Amino acid sequence: MDYQNLQIQHQDGIAIVTISREKALNALNAQTIQELRHFFGTDAPQQAELLGVVLTGAGEKAFVAGADITEFKDLSAAEGAALAQRGQEVFFLIERFPKPVVAAVNGFALGGGCELAMACHLRVAGEKARFGQPEVNLGLIPGYGGTQRLIQYVGKTKAMELLMTADIIGANEAHQLGLVNTVVPLGAEIETAIGLIKKIATKAPLAIAKIIETVNTYFEPGSAGFVKEVDAFGECCNTVDFREGAAAFLEKRAPNFKGN
């Protein structure tokens, strides 16, 4: 795919994906959503040596300042529902991606931008980052998973407050609430995100994929998380990596995982 709104660089086996619509504060338009779908659904899964993905926004003002309102201000109910459905499908691709996806939040993460960050597995926030779901100011609600994922990270009581007041919170408060993993100085977001992925890359790749799968199961309605954990544990036991990890532990050496 010829990406127009995504800039993709590779560094030490890590894909750094930058949403590049700086003049629009990296707002999510239909083209950007489609490009994210193609990257996480087609391109990235074919990259066997990929260790993980850092997702960020161009410039210092915004990670993603929201969805592109100009594209949906005149939608019917059916068209609006279809728009939300497409966004949720793409964000599920990110959430379920079997390798770590880390959001490097370098500014405003509002509306769809906050939802995008929450779909990633981990979040690194620059000290000037700002988070919020201000959709009620427009007479809307979050449509890309915000009403569901925000509860997962900050709990129902605080999620209700943030969703209904449209308050925007800073990086430190987001960290205290559990919305982000760490807060770093401005400009250190990508480097820190890369460091997290490199640390995770020293672990068994199949086990990491199973961690992502089983943790996500906890939040899927009707899913039996404990059953999924039992099955995933058994599958890990039957891997070369487990035998290597056990041998390395007993031999007091670093393991050499191969991903099989």
Q: How far is residue 251 from each of residues 99, 248, 255, measured CA to CA in Å?
A: 28, 5, 10
Q: What is the dihedral of CA 75, 77, 78, 81, to 10 degrees?
A: 90
Q: Are 190 and 54 within 8 A, CB to CB?
A: yes
- Report the DSSP beta bridge partners of residue 64: 109
Angle subtended by helix axes 205-218 and 240-250, to nearest 10: 110
Mean residue pLDDT across the chain: 95
pLDDT (tens, 9 = 90+) of the chain, 260 residues, equals 899 999 999 999 999 999 999 999 999 999 999 999 999 999 999 999 999 999 999 999 999 999 888 887 788 999 999 999 999 999 999 999 999 999 999 999 999 999 999 999 999 999 999 999 999 999 999 999 999 999 999 999 999 999 999 999 999 999 999 999 999 999 999 999 999 999 999 999 999 999 999 999 988 877 788 898 899 989 999 999 999 999 999 999 999 998 88
Query: 151-160 burial by CB neighbour count: b if 16+ within 10 A, else e?
Result: beebeeebbe
Which residue ranges make up each domain of the chain? 6-200, 205-250
Model pTM above 0.85: yes
Architecture of domain 6-200: Alpha-Beta Complex (3.90)
C-alpha span between 184 and 125 (Å, rounded): 6
Active site residues: 115, 135
